[in-house]
Structure 1
Amino acid sequence: MSKLLVTLGFVFLSAFGFSQDTLTISKSDLRQKLSEKNLQLQMARKNYQSAKADYQQSNALFLPNITASYTGMVTTNPLMAFGSKLNQEILTQSDFNPALLNDPKTTQNFATKIEIQQPLLNIDGIFGRQAAKAKMEAFQLQTQRTEEYLLLEVSKAYRQLQLAYKAVNVLEKAASTAKTNLKLVENYFKQGLLQKTDVLNVQVRVNDISNQLQYAKSNVQNASDYLAFLINEDTQGKTFKPAEALDNTIKVEVVDWQWSDHRKDIQAMQKSSEAYQKMLTMSKMSFLPRLNAFGSYELYDSQFLGTAAKGYLVGAQLSWTVFDGYKSIGKYDKAKADFQKASLETEQYKKQSQLEFNKTHRQLKDAENKVGLSQLAFEQAQEAYRIRQNRFAQGLEKTTDLLVSETQMIQKELEHLQAVFEYQFTQEYLTFLTK
């Protein structure tokens, strides 16, 4: 009695442990977790934030640059001492004494200074700001496309997990059938109706299915680990289980698939090319002069925090770099080459995308035909196995023929499930290519 209780206790603990380690998850849960936790998506968002920060820096083209400083100093330098007294408005007639001018006493000076620099006309900066904006928009579109791709990837991984579980179910059923056949063959052998080689052949078949079943269970864990990677979760010692099973049939929809260059990834490439074009224009405009205003307000005193004297300075500067040693010309040539390269890359990407769409469109029709043929082949294999099994029970079929028929039935069922998976994913991928 005690042994029975211990055995039941182990069975209960095993069942409880399995339920704890197996996490049922739906596709909607995966989509939400992907959006919140996927590392690749987070990096894409950070790239956008970085580009947005670059664009924000271009606000300096219109906004003033304001700095404030407080300086304290002690000097016996003739020029600095005379200038400090002049700024403090404490200069007297005696200070013009040549002896004091040449060898002044220690002079203190404390200065508060507020400076303002205001850009007025910087044409190259305007195009630089437009380039930064185009770059920011390109990263925004790229982030959106990355999320669309990852949603496709997590859907594919979910279907792979469904397929892996379905394969385990098929092979478990096959293992049960093989063991039943083994018992039948062993009984026939004991009755002298079959030879030892027949028993060995069936035993080999049982072992072969057990081996396949082990690989199928490993595939379940591999698919589960990949899903965990996509949603950035630690599933050490745990396994995901899909809330929905893989369908054995497909739903064929009549859709007028049309390729378009309004996809977010293509728009991102076009925005990137636009950014390079603005950079090229900015390089051209750098040959033009710049106009900037400046001003300052200053407070001086010989005492700390004193404000005895004050004054201001306001002005404007028109500057023009006439020649900088071929530096600006080199930048222009580089910007031109980068823009041409970006234009070529965009054109190549569009052609590759069109090519991929055409290829996938044909693959969808092929996948549909494959599902129909594989389903027919599986049904025929089932019927053939049923007939051979009945004939074998009547002693009218060889053991080897039964094993071949059984193997073929399992293989055709797995092929049909694989065909259904391929059709469903190809349909989703085609939607992704036209989105």
Structure 2
Amino acid sequence: MKNQFLITIGILSYSIFGYSQDTLSISKKEIQEKIADANLQIKQAEKTYQSAKADYQQSNALFLPNITASHTGISTTNPLMAFGSKLNQEILTASDFNPTLLNNPAKTQNFATVISIQQPLLNADGLYERKAAFAKMQAYQLQTERTKEYMQLEVSKAYMQLQLAYKAVTVLTKAERTAQANLKLIDNYFKQGLVQKTDVLNVQIRVNEVTNQLQYAKSNIQNASDYLGFLLNEDTKNKTYKPSEELESNISVATVTTEVPENRKDIQAMTLSTSAYQKMYLSSKMNFLPRLNAFGSYELYDQTLFGTKANGYTVGAQLSWSVFDGYKSIGKMDKAKADFQKASIETQQYKKQSQLEVNKTNRQLLDAENKVKLSQLAFEQSQEAYRIRQNRFTQGLEKTTDLLQSETQTIQKELEHVQAVFEYNFTKQYLQFLTN
């Protein structure tokens, strides 16, 4: 019965701890190379840029001609249409001027092939709309590049979190072995009558606590692995990533710029976006100026389908001016002005918020550096305290509860130190991202 129980526990452990899953070793360099091509957020940003680029390409219509072709067939007894169709076909005769035939013409057929060309010559509002579209396209291009930089930061954080999860498992596995050794020692003492049953139970409770913490740590490995797979747009079913590099145990203090650079890509994108709104405002003002466009057409007429018996052409130019459109243009200009002013204010606010974030992160980096130093000292002190208590305990000079408390404190301080190193390294990368 006991053997069956152990086998059952082994099977559950195999399933719970995920040993049946494939473990894939992955390096930080490898994920940074993958992220640019695989990440869905980057792909969305690229499509947004391509959409803005297509909008800019549409503005080529400001300089290029608009060419259309049509073929129309009619059958009519309308006096005016019938007379005009014969005239276009160049088949009009003297008898067609008979008033009776003019008023009551016979059924007349006409097939017309028309090729039309419209060429813009001067459209001031369109020029500024084109400039606005170009600024918008550049803004989205910079925003796409900034998104790539952010996802590099995010995937680096995810990789460090995976390293942290594996490190926690390592620490807690060592703690579990220590707890099991203490349990074995206490159990021997109990059999010798040197300790009470409560001491054995306390140590057993401690073993269960460490085992439970270890299970949570192993679950965190899968959580971190799944998130890394999400960033890389890869299926992590029955797969677990394992970092090829261990989490750094020390920090390297670096001096980072504390000012937000004007050439930071997202700030440049905001500035270009404001410029686009300004161009749209100027375009709405230019809407009050006249437009000059040229046009022309070449026509083919015949009684039969696709016939070419008669032909003619028309060329000309048109100067048009919308004198008053019921306050529509004025309202459009006021709206464009308000949008431009709003964009200017948003850009100023974004720059100030970015500087606030840099200042805050810089202080967090100093705090994280201090935390690493203190956690390192606390961990070393707790190790020494545990070593002393363990030696005294074997000599019968320490209580079991004191030994367990010291052991718990040692594990806690080691995990705190690992967490502090992680926080410092990520904060440093984040600050570099903010000032890049």
The one-character-per-residue Cα deviations of 1:256-283 (angstroms, maximum 9, x if unpaired) are: 5443121101111111100000010001
Q: Distance in 2 between matches of 1:106 and 1:271?
A: 63
* Amino acid in structure 2 at the alignment position of 1:150: M
Report sequence identity in percent.
74
Q: Distance in 2 between matches of 1:107 and 1:393?
A: 121
Alignment partner of 1:110 is 2:111? yes
Offset of residue 91 of structure 1: 0.5
Unpaired stretches in structure 1, ≥5 consecutive residues: none
Alignment partner of 1:70 is 2:77? no
Offset of residue 255 of structure 1: 4.3
- Matched residue, 2:277: 276
- Matched residue, 1:234: 235
Q: Distance in 1 between matches of 2:28 and 2:104?
A: 87
Give yes or no for contact 2:28–2:156 (8 Å, CA) kept in 1: yes
- Matched residue, 2:138: 137
- Matched residue, 1:122: 123
Q: How does 1:303-382 map to 2 (within 5 A)?
A: 303-382=304-383
- Partner-residue secondary structure (3-state), 1:115: strand
Give yes or no for contact 2:258–2:359 (8 Å, CA) kept in 1: no
- Matched residue, 1:212: 213
Q: Distance in 2 between matches of 1:32 and 1:20?
A: 25
Q: Distance in 2 between matches of 1:115 and 1:27?
A: 60
* Amino acid in structure 1 at the alignment position of 2:429: E
Q: Distance in 2 between matches of 1:40 and 1:334?
A: 32
Offset of residue 152 of structure 1: 0.4
Give yes or no for contact 2:179–2:207 (8 Å, CA) kept in 1: yes
* Amino acid in structure 2 at the alignment position of 1:403: L
- Matched residue, 2:186: 185
Q: How does 1:6-45 map to 2 (within 5 A)?
A: 18=19, 21-45=22-46
Q: Distance in 2 between matches of 1:253 and 1:261?
A: 22
- Partner-residue secondary structure (3-state), 2:410: helix
Question: TM-score when scaled to structure 2?
Answer: 0.95
* Amino acid in structure 2 at the alignment position of 1:234: D
* Amino acid in structure 1 at the alignment position of 2:83: F
Q: Distance in 1 between matches of 2:33 and 2:301?
A: 62
- Matched residue, 1:295: 296
Offset of residue 293 of structure 1: 0.5
Give yes or no for contact 2:39–2:232 (8 Å, CA) kept in 1: yes
Q: Distance in 2 between matches of 1:193 and 1:101?
A: 132
Question: TM-score when scaled to structure 1?
Answer: 0.95
Alignment partner of 1:50 is 2:57? no
Give yes or no for contact 2:21–2:238 (8 Å, CA) kept in 1: no
Alignment partner of 1:266 is 2:270? no
Give yes or no for contact 2:89–2:309 (8 Å, CA) kept in 1: yes
* Amino acid in structure 1 at the alignment position of 2:428: Q
* Amino acid in structure 1 at the alignment position of 2:230: F
Alignment partner of 1:154 is 2:191? no
* Amino acid in structure 2 at the alignment position of 1:413: E
The one-character-per-residue Cα deviations of 1:162-199 (angstroms, maximum 9, x if unpaired) are: 00000011001000000000000000011010011111
Give yes or no for contact 2:21–2:240 (8 Å, CA) kept in 1: no
Moved more, 85-94 or 361-370: 361-370
Q: Distance in 2 between matches of 1:41 and 1:288?
A: 42
- Matched residue, 1:194: 195
